[in-house]
C-alpha cells in the first residue's frame, strides 16, 4: 500500500507557511496556533529566493534553520519548495535574459511571478545551484516530508532560446525530415511550406502564425516538454542527493496550457491546488461536481496511488470576481471531498494572511488580527481535529469501474481548429457534464488520458475525442470486443494527432467499432434547438447535430426536425461482447441520465447505495486492505436524506459529510 511518506502516517493537514514575511516573535505564536489546529505540515520556501540568496552567491539559511528547528521541536513536519517561481530582482537586473518573453515577442520586466525564461541557460543553472544547496542542507532532515518543486508551472516563453529549442524539438519529432513536417502540417496550403528549419518560429500571439493547426499543437506539446525538462533541472539534484524524499509539484487541475500527464512519470506523488469559483454558485452542486472532476483528473495522473491537495483556501480567494465568503460548513465539506476522492492530506494557501502585497486579502488560516475565535480559524481547527481521527484511511484508494477520457492534446487541437464554431467549444465543461452523471449516481470514476490502459473498466466515456492518437481506436476496439461499453460523442475522431483529417473521413479508425460513418455537422444558432426522439420521449439538441450513417450500428434515437428529421441521433453498435454508443448531438443532463442509466445497468456497475441519490448528494469510495470507506457528501446548502442497502435512513445536514466503514470481511459499521 503506497503512502505519501512513511514518516507521517496520518491524513496530512497544513499548508503554505511564509515565516520570512514576519518577525520571529510571530513565529512563536504561529507554532502555538499550529498545535491548536492540528496543522502538522508546513510548506516552506515557496517564493523565498531573495531571503535564501540575498546577493549572488551569498546564501543565508539561518532563518530557515531556525523555523525548521522550531517546527520540529513541536513535532511538526515540513515540505520544502524550491524558490524558482520568482527570481530575485538582483538576478533579473544582472541577467535580463532570465525574464520571460511573451507571445507578443516582447521581453517582460522584473516582477510578478512565473515570469522567468525556462529556456535560459543562466536561469537553469541558478535553479540547479539553489536546488542542490537545499538538498544538501535539508535532504536528510527527519521532518522533511517532500520536495515541492517550484510553484504552479505555467505559460509559454517566446524568447530566442525557446525558439531554438522548439526547432530542435521539431527535428527530433520529425526525424530531421522537413518534408515530413510539411506534409504533417499541410503547409502547401497558403504557400506555408518551410524550406529550412530556421524558418520555423513559435506560432501564436498577436503577430504569429495561427493558421497551421499542427504547428500550434506542437508548440504546446513543446512547451509542456520544455517545462518538464526545466522541472527536471531542479528535481535531478533533489533526487540524487535525497533519493528517499518524494518529489512533487503543485498543479492546477484543468489548466489549459500544460499536459500534466507528461509530468507524472517524474513525480513521486501528485499534488494540486483547488480553488473552485465561489462567485455566487458556491451553493450549486455543479461547483462541487467540477471540483470532484478535477480531483479525479489529478488522481488519474498516477492511478492507484494517493495524492495531496497541496492548496485550497481556508477563506475566500481575493482574485475571484467578487469575494463571496465560504458559508459555514463549506470548508469542512471541501476538505473531506478531496479525501473522498483519494487525497491523503489537505493543505492550504496559506497559514497567515500577509499584511501587504498582492494576497493581503486572500483567505488564510490566521486572519488579520490573529484571533483564535475567528470563524475561519475555528472551521480549520475543526477539520484538523477530524482528520486526525482517521489515520486508517491513508493508502486506501478509489477503484472505479468507469473511466472518462480527458485529453489535453485533443483539447488543444479542438481549440486550434478554425471551426466548426467560433463560439466556445466547451470541452472541459462537456467532460464535466458526463462526469456529473456518474457523480450524481454515486459511481466513482477515473479520469484518464487517451494513452492509458482501459483494462480495469466496464464503461469508458470519451466526450468530444476530437484528435486521436495512434493506438487509441485499437484500444477502444479491444475494450469493446472484450465486453466493455464505450460512449463517444459528436466531434470525435475528426483528426489524427497532427490535426489532419483522416483520409476515410470523420471518426477515421473509430468507424468500425462504432458501426457508423459521419458526414457533416450542423452547428445551430446560439439559442436554437432541434427535437430528438429517444424511447418515445422528446429531448432537445443544441449547439451540434452531427449527421451520421449507421453501417452496422442500430439507431436508438432520431432527430425529429430540420432536413435531417428521421436520421440517427444516437447509435449503438454491438461489437464482440460489448457495445459502442455514439451520441451525435449536444444535449442536457436529463437526456444524459436517460441514455446512461441502461448502459450502467447493462455493465452491472456496483452501486454502493441503492436507488436514486438526492440531487447534489454523492457517495465516493476508497478501498483499503482492511476496510472500504464510503464518503457520503451533501453538496447542498440544505439537508438531504438517503438510505443504505439494509434500509437505514441517513440524514446529512447542509454540506454534510459522513464516513461509513465496511470491514473487508464484515458488515458495515459506523
Ligand atoms: C496559487 C499559488 C499560491 C497563491 C494561491 C492564491 O495556488 O500557488 O501561491 O497565490 O494561488 O489563491
Please tell me the total count of domains within the chain: 4
For range 319-333, the mean pLDDT: 90
Give the model confidence (pLDDT) of 266-278 as tens digits: 999 999 999 997 6
Pick from 115, 272, 311, 363 the residue to mutate for probing ligand 1's pocket: most ligand atoms within 8 Å of its CB: 311
CA of 659 to the centre of ligand 1 (A): 30
Q: What is the residue with the minimal CA distance to atom 4 of ligand 1?
A: 349
| Ligand 1 pocket residue status of 363, Cβ below 6 Å | no
Same structural domain for residues 493 and 592?
A: yes
pLDDT band at 635; cut points 50, 70, 90: very high
Assign 344 to helix, strand or coil. Answer: strand
Cα of 47 from ligand 1 centre, angstroms:
11
Residue 669 has pLDDT above 50, yes or no: no
The residue among 393, 426, 461 that closes a domain is 393
The closest residue, in CA terms, to atom 5 on ligand 1 is: 349
Residues 615 and 511 in one domain: no
Residue 2 lies in a domain: no
Q: Measured from the CA of 252, which atom of ligand 1 is nearest?
A: 7
Residue 664: C-alpha distances to residues 5, 150, 196, 628, 669 (Å): 25, 40, 64, 6, 11
Question: Is any ligand 1 atom within 6 A of the Cβ of residue 152?
Answer: yes
Q: Is the beta carbon of 124 within 6 A of some atom in ligand 1?
A: no
Ligand 1 centre to CA of 363 (Å) is 11
Ligand 1: distance of its center to the CA of 409 in Å? Answer: 26
User: How far is the centre of ligand 1, averaged over its atoms, from the C-alpha of 360 (Å)?
Assistant: 12
Say yes or no: 290 and 360 in one domain: yes
Q: Indicate if ligand 1 lies below 6 Å from the C-beta of 411.
A: no
**Cα-atom radius of gyration of the chain, to the nearest Å?**
26
Q: Is 467 in the pocket of ligand 1 (CB under 6 A)?
A: no
* Nearest alpha carbon, ligand 1 atom 11: 349
- Name the closest-CA residue to atom 7, ligand 1: 273
Is 494 in the same domain as 564?
yes
Closest CA to 305 of 275, 333, 343: 343
60 in any annotated domain: yes
Whose alpha carbon is nearest atom 3 of ligand 1?
349
For the whole model, what pTM was predicted? 0.97
Same domain flag for 636 and 524:
no
Residues 236 and 317 in one domain: yes
**Cα separation values, 227 from 201, 234, 266, 605, 631, Å:** 18, 11, 12, 39, 36
pLDDT at 59 (0 to 100): 98
Angle at 522 between CA 519 and CA 523, to 5 degrees: 140
Q: Is the pLDDT of residue 340 over 60?
A: yes
Q: Mean pLDDT over residues 432-453, rounded?
A: 97
Which residue segment(s) compose the domain that 309 sits in?
A: 12-151+221-393
Q: Are residues 374 and 406 in the same domain?
A: no
Question: Could you tell me if the CB of 349 is within 6 A of ligand 1?
Answer: yes
* Tens digits of residue pLDDT in 519-559: 999 999 999 999 999 999 999 999 999 999 999 999 999 99
Shared domain check, 305 and 388: yes
| 311 Cβ inside 6 Å of ligand 1 | yes
Q: Kindly report the CATH number assigned to the domain that includes residue 347.
A: 3.20.20.80
Task: Calculate helix-pair angle for 330-340, 375-387, nearest 10 degrees.
Answer: 30
Residue 536: give its domain's CATH number.
3.40.50.880
Q: Report if residue 97 sits inside a domain.
A: yes
Task: Answer whether 151 contacts ligand 1 (Cβ < 6 A).
Answer: yes
C-alpha–C-alpha distance, residues 297 and 269, integer Å: 14
Q: Would you state the cell numbers that stand for residue 505, as one nine-digit string?
A: 473521413
With a pLDDT cut of 90, the percent of the chain lying above it is 93
349 CA to centre of ligand 1 in angstroms:
6
Indicate the pairing of strand 516-523 with strand 537-550: antiparallel
- Confirm if 223 and 156 have CB atoms less than 8 A apart: yes
CA angle 382, 386, 389 (to 5 degrees): 150
Q: What is the pLDDT of residues 285-309, one digit of tens each?
A: 899 999 999 999 999 999 999 999 9
Burial status of residue 373 (CB atoms within 10 A of its CB: 0-12, 13-18, 19 or more): exposed
275 CA to centre of ligand 1 in angstroms: 9
Q: Mean pLDDT throughout 634-638?
A: 94
pLDDT surpasses 90 at 283: no
pLDDT tens track for 208-252: 999 999 999 999 999 999 999 999 999 999 999 999 999 999 999
Is residue 3 situated within a structural domain? no
Is the Cβ atom of 317 under 6 angstroms away from ligand 1? yes
Mean pLDDT along residues 390-418: 98
Q: Is the pLDDT of residue 662 over 80?
A: yes
Q: How far apart are CA 38 and CA 369, in angstroms?
A: 20
Is pLDDT above 80 for 607? no
Q: Is the beta carbon of 117 within 6 A of some atom in ligand 1?
A: no
pLDDT tens readout for residues 493-511:
999 999 999 999 999 999 9
More confident site: 610 or 305: 305
Asked if residue 271 has its Cβ within 6 Å of ligand 1, the reply is no
Q: Do 582 and 570 contact (CB within 8 A), yes or no?
A: yes
Is 5 inside a domain boundary?
no
The answer as to whether 261 is a domain residue is yes
Q: Do residues 290 and 434 share a domain?
A: no
314 lines ligand 1 (CB under 6 A): no
Contact (CB, 8 A) for 356 and 18: no
Q: Which atom of ligand 1 is nearest to the CA of 317?
A: 12
Ligand 1, atom nearest to 46 Cα: 9
Compute the average pLDDT of residues 122-138.
98
Whether residue 340 is contained in a domain is answered as yes
Q: How confident is the model at residue 606 (pLDDT cuts 50, 70, 90)?
A: confident
Which domain-ending residue is among 372, 393, 414?
A: 393
Say which DSSP state 264 is in. Answer: G
Q: Examine the fold and report which residue of 358, 393, 428 is the final residue of a domain before the chain moves on.
A: 393
Distance 149 CA to ligand 1 centre (A): 14
Asked if residue 229 has a cis previous peptide bond (ω within 30° of 0), the answer is: no
User: Quick one: average pLDDT of 298-322?
Assistant: 95
Catalytic residues: 152, 311
Mean pLDDT of 151-166: 98
How many angstroms does the Cα of residue 191 sit away from the middle of ligand 1? 45
Query: Any idea which of 51-55, 81-85, 272-276, 322-326 has the lowest mean pLDDT?
Result: 322-326
Q: 426 and 561: one domain? A: yes
- pLDDT above 70 (res 136): yes
From 321, 359, 360, 361, give the residue whose CB has the most ligand 1 atoms within 8 Å, as the site to mutate.
Answer: 359
The residue to mutate among 349, 351, 363, 365, having the most atoms of ligand 1 within 8 angstroms of its beta carbon, is 349
Does the residue 497 lie in any domain?
yes
- pLDDT > 70 in the chain, percent: 98
Q: Are residues 280 and 407 part of one domain? A: no
Q: Decide: 148 in ligand 1 pocket, CB within 6 A.
A: no
CB of 273 closer than 6 A to ligand 1?
yes
Q: How confident is the model at residue 668 (pLDDT cuts 50, 70, 90)?
A: very low
| DSSP structural state of residue 157 | -
pLDDT value for 610: 67
Decide: 261 in ligand 1 pocket, CB within 6 A: no
pLDDT for 643 equals 83
251 alpha carbon to ligand 1 midpoint, in Å? 11
Q: CA nearest 15: which of 40, 32, 51?
A: 40
Closest of 507, 659, 470 to residue 582, by C-alpha: 507
Domain match, 128 and 49 both: yes
Amino acid at each position: 500500500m503506497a503512502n505519501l511518506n512513511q514518516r507521517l502516517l496520518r491524513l496530512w493537514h497544513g499548508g503554505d507557511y511564509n515565516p520570512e514575511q514576519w518577525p520571529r516573535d510571530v513565529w512563536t505564536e504561529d507554532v502555538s496556533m499550529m498545535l491548536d489546529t492540528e496543522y502538522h505540515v508546513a510548506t516552506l520556501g515557496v517564493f523565498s529566493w531573495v531571503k535564501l540568496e540575498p546577493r549572488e552567491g551569498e546564501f543565508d539559511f539561518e532563518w530557515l534553520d531556525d523555523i525548521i528547528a522550531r517546527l520540529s521541536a513541536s513535532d511538526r513536519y515540513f515540505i520544502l519548495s524550491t524558490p524558482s517561481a520568482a527570481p530575485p530582482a538582483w538576478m533579473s537586473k544582472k541577467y535580463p535574459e532570465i525574464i520571460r518573453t511573451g507571445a507578443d515577442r516582447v521581453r517582460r520586466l522584473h516582477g510578478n511571478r512565473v515570469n522567468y525564461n525556462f529556456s535560459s541557460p543562466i536561469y537553469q543553472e541558478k535553479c540547479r545551484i539553489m536546488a542542490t544547496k537545499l538538498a544538501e542542507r535539508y535532504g536528510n532532515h527527519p521532518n522533511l516530508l517532500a520536495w515541492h518543486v517550484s510553484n504552479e508551472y505555467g505559460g509559454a516563453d517566446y524568447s530566442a532560446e525557446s525558439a531554438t529549442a522548439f526547432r530542435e524539438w521539431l527535428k527530433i519529432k520529425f526525424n530531421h525530415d522537413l518534408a515530413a513536417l510539411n506534409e504533417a502540417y499541410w503547409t502547401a496550403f497558403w504557400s506555408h511550406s518551410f524550406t529550412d528549419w530556421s524558418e520555423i518560429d513559435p506560432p501564436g500571439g498577436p503577430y504569429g502564425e495561427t493558421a497551421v493547426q499542427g504547428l500550434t499543437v506542437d508548440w504546446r506539446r513543446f512547451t509542456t516538454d520544455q517545462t518538464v525538462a526545466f522541472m527536471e533541472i531542479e528535481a535531478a539534484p533533489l533526487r540524487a542527493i535525497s533519493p528517499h524524499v518524494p518529489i512533487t509539484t503543485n498543479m492546477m487541475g484543468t489548466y489549459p496550457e500544460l499536459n500534466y500527464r507528461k509530468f507524472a512519470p517524474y513525480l513521486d506523488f501528485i499534488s494540486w491546488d483547488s480553488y473552485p469559483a465561489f462567485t455566487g454558485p458556491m451553493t450549486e452542486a455543479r461547483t462541487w461536481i467540477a471540483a470532484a472532476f478535477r480531483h479525479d483528473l489529478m488522481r488519474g495522473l498516477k492511478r492507484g496511488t494517493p495524492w495531496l491537495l497541496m492548496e485550497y483556501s481556508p477563506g475566500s480567494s481575493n482574485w475571484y470576481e467578487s469575494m463571496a465568503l465560504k458559508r459555514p460548513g463549506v470548508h469542512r465539506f471541501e476538505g473531506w471531498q478531496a479525501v473522498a476522492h483519494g487525497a491523503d492530506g489537505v493543505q492550504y494557501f496559506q497559514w497567515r494572511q500577509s499584511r501587504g502585497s498582492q494576497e493581503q486579502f486572500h483567505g488564510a488560516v490566521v486572519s488579520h488580527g490573529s484571533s483564535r475565535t475567528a470563524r475561519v480559524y475555528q472551521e480549520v481547527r475543526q477539520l484538523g481535529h477530524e482528520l486526525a481521527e482517521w489515520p486508517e484511511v491513508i493508502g486506501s484508494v478509489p477503484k472505479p469501474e468507469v473511466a472518462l477520457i480527458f485529453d489535453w492534446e485533443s483539447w488543444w487541437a479542438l481549440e486550434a481548429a478554425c471551426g466548426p464554431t467560433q463560439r466556445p467549444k466547451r470541452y472541459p465543461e462537456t467532460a464535466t457534464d458526463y462526469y456529473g452523471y456518474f457523480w450524481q449516481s454515486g459511481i466513482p470514476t477515473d479520469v484518464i488520458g487517451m494513452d492509458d490502459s482501459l483494462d480495469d473498466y466496464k464503461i469508458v466515456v470519451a466526450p468530444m475525442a476530437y484528435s486521436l492518437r495512434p493506438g487509441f481506436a485499437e484500444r477502444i476496439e479491444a475494450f469493446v470486443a472484450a465486453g466493455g461499453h464505450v460512449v463517444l460523442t459528436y466531434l470525435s475522431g475528426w483528426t489524427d494527432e497532427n490535426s489532419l483529417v483522416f483520409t476515410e473521413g470523420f471518426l477515421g479508425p473509430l468507424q468500425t467499432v462504432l458501426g457508423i460513418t459521419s458526414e457533416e455537422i450542423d452547428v445551430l444558432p446560439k439559442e436554437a434547438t432541434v427535437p430528438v426522439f429517444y424511447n418515445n420521449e422528446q429531448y432537445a439538441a443544441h449547439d451540434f447535430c452531427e449527421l451520421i450513417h449507421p453501417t452496422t450500428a442500430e439507431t436508438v434515437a432520431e432527430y425529429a426536425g430540420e432536413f435531417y428529421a428521421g436520421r440517427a441521433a444516437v447509435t449503438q453498435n454491438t461489437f464482440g461482447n460489448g457495445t459502442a454508443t455514439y451520441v451525435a448531438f449536444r444535449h442536457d443532463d436529463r437526456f444524459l441520465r436517460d441514455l446512461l442509466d441502461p448502459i450502467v445497468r447493462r455493465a452491472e456497475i456496483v452501486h454502493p447505495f441503492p436507488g436514486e441519490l438526492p440531487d447534489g448528494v454523492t457517495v465516493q469510495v476508497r478501498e483499503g486492505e482492511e476496510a472500504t470507506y464510503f464518503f457520503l457528501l451533501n453538496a447542498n446548502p440544505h439537508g438531504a436524506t438517503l438510505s443504505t442497502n439494509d434500509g437505514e435512513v441517513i440524514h446529512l445536514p447542509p454540506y454534510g459529510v459522513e464516513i461509513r466503514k465496511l470491514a473487508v470481511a464484515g458488515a458495515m459499521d459506523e
